[in-house]
Amino acid sequence: MASSSRALARFGAAARQLSAPEAVAKLARPHANFATTTSARKPDLSASPIIARARPVSSQFTFTRSYADAPPLPKKRSGKIRTTFRWMWRGTYLSLLGLVGAVIYDGYLDRYPDVQFIPDPEKKTLVVLGTGWGSVALLKKLDCANYNVIVISPRNYFLFTPLLPSCTTGNIEHRSIMEPVRQILRHKKAAAKFYEADATKIDYERKVIKISDNSDVKGTINETEVPYDMLVVGVGAENATFGIPGVREHSCFLKEIRDAQAIRTKIMDCVETAAFKDQDSAEIDRLLHMVVVGGGPTGVEFAGELRDFFDHDIQKLIPDIAPRFKVTLVEALPNVLPMFSKQLIDYTESTFKEEHIEIKTKTMVKKVTDKTIEAEITGPDGKKSLITIPYGLLVWATGNAVRPLVKDLMSQIPAQKDSRRGLAVNEYLVVQGARDIWAVGDCAVAGYAPTAQVASQEGAFLARLFNNMAKTEALDTKVKELSSSLNVRPGNAAEITSEIESLEKQLRRQKDIKPFHYSHQGSLAYIGSEKAVADVAWFNGNLASGGKLTYLFWRSAYLSMCFSTRNRVLVAMDWIKAKVYGRDVSRE
């Protein structure tokens, strides 16, 4: 070791006497004496301070920089990706926690609403008939403190009808799309009354409504009268049979919850009877033939749901008879979904063809028996012929008819004698020829299609109108009081006059109410196989789309349209349950 130290000292002295290039060159040559005097482990010359300070002066020499001169290594890209995913997971986690918290808080408010106050009995009595789309939209936005509100309906719930076809196949439970009316009224600041009863007659001259108890349990009083100052008729319409024999006796309708339950029972009855031991082959074909009359959104959606039910669930449980299942859609018009664009009509018809759903257009049903349909079909050449269609289930999903209550009211008002489809109303939804009576929904003729979207907008318009009328009356009364006090106390005449002018300006603004105008937001329909069509208003035109992405939009749109958070949660859970475990095939 001592000899090694002496050798390094000699090399250092020699290097100091030479120039930098010569020193580097000399040190780079192997030194025999040095190699023989050192031990087996050679020293690392690259770590020598002389080598570190030396810099190459020509491209002939190349040296590796020491760790002190090397630039820092770049950070790995995977670290940034992990950080991004970590923050995304945290955001998702916090969003889910916030969503759960919002649902729990909404449930708390639903269970424990604020205390209501009783309105002044001297105020006007506003009676609302029905709990459909128009009536509930009115109640939702109405300030009940301005009136004594009374709601009369044979059902004590609001029904989200667009999802009714899904209830027939077990995709959604019927209670998930029902919202109790008393729950709606309980969240109003002022108390409102509800009577579950049938309105049997509206006495237009006396301004009273005759009602009767429609429940199975009867009390001592089964019929009575309810007086009104203002009346809103929102009773909707009933199913139209067009006078065709056998329709009401042998068809299933799709308008109420009990209709969906009856269809569900009938479907499983047909399936189980077709699977019965030694069943006749022709009878199996008849039992498994489901016929839907009506090519509107309700009929199309039900046909699609029915096909999905058999393809995804029945086929797995009863594979022997599943291939013989058949769905036929009958429509009197030249095509289905007449309210949609031609592009979406063609897409729907091609999708139905892929799903083996037969469409019979230009087909008029003439007679219905317990097992067959007799219909008149118009061929491409214009010739008409009669056909017989055997069926196991017949669902009638077309047309509306005026209810007897509305017919009776129309007969009392001379201005309604020429109306055929319901109560004719003006641009403010006032029943023509009547005083203090308004009509909304399918029972009103306002020049628009009888859809839930129209009824909902009409109800919201009436709520704004009634709230405005109450404010107008309050302002008018205050102006009269101030005008009378001006004559009694002339000392503050300038101040009172200024206040009167301000109130009159507000009064003019309140009285300037624009008439009702329907704003079409678009049309949606499910067509089976997790596909949907949408014709949505977009700026100054319409956006037409169809397919699986439209199906996701259809679901999100219907979910947002549900009345309450409770409905949205229940419907979403039903969809998840059906996706994971399949539809329930039990009979009841």
Whole-number pLDDT of residue 102:
84
For residues 423 and 450, the answer to whether their CB atoms sit within 8 Å is: no
Query: Which tokens belong to 397?
Result: 């999903």
Give the Å distances, CA to CA, from 260 to 174, 213, 330, 473.
Answer: 8, 24, 20, 46
List pLDDT tens digits, range 229-273.
999 999 999 999 999 999 999 999 999 999 999 999 999 999 999
For residues 468 and 146, the answer to whether their CB atoms sit within 8 Å is: no
pTM of the model: 0.80
Whole-number pLDDT of residue 116:
87
- Residue corresponding to tokens 């949408």: 534
Give the Å distances, CA to CA, from 302 to 166, 167, 169, 261, 525.
Answer: 7, 10, 9, 14, 10
Assign 3-class secondary structure to 406-448: HHHHHHHCHHHCCCCCCEEECCCCEECCCCCEEECHHHEECCC
d(CA 442, CA 423): 9
Whole-number pLDDT of residue 531:
96
d(CA 489, CA 567): 58
List pLDDT tens digits, range 267-320.
999 999 999 999 999 999 999 999 999 999 999 999 999 999 999 999 998 999
Domains delineated in the chain = 2-53 (no CATH), 125-237+402-511 (3.50.50.100), 247-401+520-581 (3.50.50.100)
d(CA 95, CA 101): 10
- pLDDT < 50 regions, the chain: 1-2, 8, 11, 15, 18-21, 23-43, 45-59, 61
Give the Å distances, CA to CA, from 568 to 106, 169, 172, 292, 486.
Answer: 12, 19, 12, 29, 56
Whole-number pLDDT of residue 48:
47
